[in-house]
Amino acid sequence: MALVAISGMCLAQLSSTVTLSNGIEVQVSANLGQPTGQEKLTVEMVRASGNSFYRTFWDQNNLVVFAYELAINRSSDGNEFRFVAKPVGTEFAARFPQADAGKPVPSLSSEHDFRPLHSGDHDEIGLFEIPGMGLTVNDSIRVALDEQRSASTGAFQLSGLKVSINGTPSAGPARVTVSGRYAMFYIPGRGAYFFSTDAPAGRAFVKAGSVDGNRMQFNAENDSYECAANQLILVDSQSGEVWVYHDPSYSPTGNWTRDIRPGEPEPGEDFFTSASDSLNWWLAEASDLAQKPR
């Protein structure tokens, strides 16, 4: 993602959205106040663990001016979401020692519990100010379920996806449609599979498959995968090539990715599909945060 002036920023550069096949959509958006344009910021989410993310704010010098960790949890009945904003600490510093040229990255002074959110709700947190630059920065979190989710757009849409491995039905169907710039699915015991319509910079994706209408096929570790959906898989094309990355060690933690339904006990791990505007929702950075954000 190129660094651009605040006045030229669009919403996509200030917000991060992910949708899951259990019906959940989470959007985190930054409001910068009334920036003068002297200080140029970009914002991104970087995966910290299975249910938490580092939210990082970059300046025009590719340094992080503020960061915090955001954890997501879901109630046992599936209807309520709890978000906790945490200060970044030694784990962040060890993982990204050059985030602020070796200095401690400014962060929250203490943990902040957002109010419990139900579908359609949102809440905000004030983060930091830069005097003289017009920057008074806060983050807003919004959640939605199923029919209350917004209509996402992007390269992929995975609708009711079913997966067969070497000719044997193995996972699915997913319950709802997810769509976004990137897509993935997770199969317990096999890990996660990530998809792009091009070769993402700095990532170990390979051109391993193709899409034809509502079917996608690819190969990974000598296994053949056939995926069938209820709708066209590529939003803007009937067919095309697909770049694939398989992470067999991927394992989500927490319960926000699980298909929890009211009145049912909390399940174990589930097959799920997901789509997002950024690979960093799922994949940790391949190298130091000193790189420009993507």
Domain residues of the chain, as ranges? 6-147, 156-281
- Report the 10 Å Cβ neighbour count for 265: 7
Average pLDDT over residues 161-170: 98
- pTM score, whole prediction: 0.86
User: What is the structure's pLDDT at 293?
Assistant: 45
Q: Name the one residue in this structure whose structure tokens are 């989500």.
A: 252
Amino acid residing at 73: N
**Bigger pLDDT: 12 or 168?**
168
Output Rg (C-alpha) for the chain, integer angstroms: 19
Prior bond of 248 cis (ω within 30°): no
Place of tokens 């000598």: 222
Asked whether residue 288 carries a pLDDT value surpassing 50, the answer given is no
Strands, E assignment, 50-134: 52-58, 64-74, 81-87, 112-113, 122-130
Q: Is the model's pLDDT at 129 over the cut of 90?
A: yes
- pLDDT-based confidence at residue 13 (cuts at 50, 70, 90): low
In whole angstroms, what is the distance from residue 189 CA to residue 111 CA? 34
The pLDDT value recorded for residue 210 is: 97
pLDDT of residue 40: 86
Structure tokens at 181: 């710039």
Distance between CA atoms of residues 196 and 208, nearest Å: 11
Nearest C-alpha neighbor of 94 from the set 50, 128, 54, 44:
54
Q: What angle do CA 258, 43, 97 make, to 5 degrees?
A: 90
- Integer Cα distance of 213 and 182 in angstroms: 17
Whether residue 290 has pLDDT greater than 90: no
- Percentage of the chain with pLDDT > 90? 65
236 pLDDT more than 60:
yes
